[in-house]
Amino acid sequence: MSELNTLPPVARKVYHPCKKCEVERYQVVLAHTNSKTARLECEVCHTKNTLKVGTPAKNSKKKTASKSSRGGHKVRWEELTQNASQDPAPYNMREAFEVETLIDHPKFGLGVVTALTTNSIQVVFEDQERSLVHNRQ
Ligand SMILES: [Zn+2]
């Protein structure tokens, strides 16, 4: 007997072991107890049995919609760099930068400081946002 994964409909006859007969019997599905179990009645001895089905196939993990913020990021970078009033400052980890400072990084190009801690700055570059060291003593 193949393993069931879904309950047979009510009134359907299924071949299932009967606890009294101790053999598999045709049994009528009386009702569904829940989504995984049903009550059966043995056709021969009329004993009530329980049918359990396997765990339903797990729902395929919902893929979190990847936020395609690529366009949005570029727009943000353009706005930030255009709003910067001063000339870009060459990036140097010993320098202490401030928020909204325009930075010219030798590798990542033009970026704008958007946040900072004592030793790190969050810089929005054209391709992505990066965390850089600054104020290194
Ligand atoms: Zn029986």
User: Would you state the pLDDT for residue 65?
Assistant: 47
CB-based burial, 77-104: b 16+ in 10 Å, e otherwise: beebbeebeeebeebeeeeebeeebbbe
User: Would you state the pLDDT for residue 6?
Assistant: 86
Residues of the chain with CATH 2.20.25: 13-52
Place of tokens 């989504």: 35
**Topology given in CATH for the domain delimited by 13-52:** N-terminal domain of TfIIb (2.20.25)
Checking if the pLDDT of 106 tops 50, the result is yes
CA 10 – ligand 1 centroid, Å: 18
Q: Is residue 77 helix, strand or coil?
A: helix
Query: How many helices (H) does the chain have, and how many strands (E)?
Result: 1, 9
CA 42 – ligand 1 centroid, Å: 4
Place of tokens 């993990």: 61
Q: Please, which pLDDT band fits residue 56 given cuts at 50, 70 and 90?
A: low
CA 22 – ligand 1 centroid, Å: 7
User: Would you state the pLDDT for residue 72?
Assistant: 87
CA 19 – ligand 1 centroid, Å: 7
Alpha-carbon distances of 124 from 16, 18, 77, 136, rounded to whole Å: 65, 69, 6, 20
CA 39 – ligand 1 centroid, Å: 13
Residues 30-54, mean pLDDT to the nearest whole number: 94
CA 55 – ligand 1 centroid, Å: 26
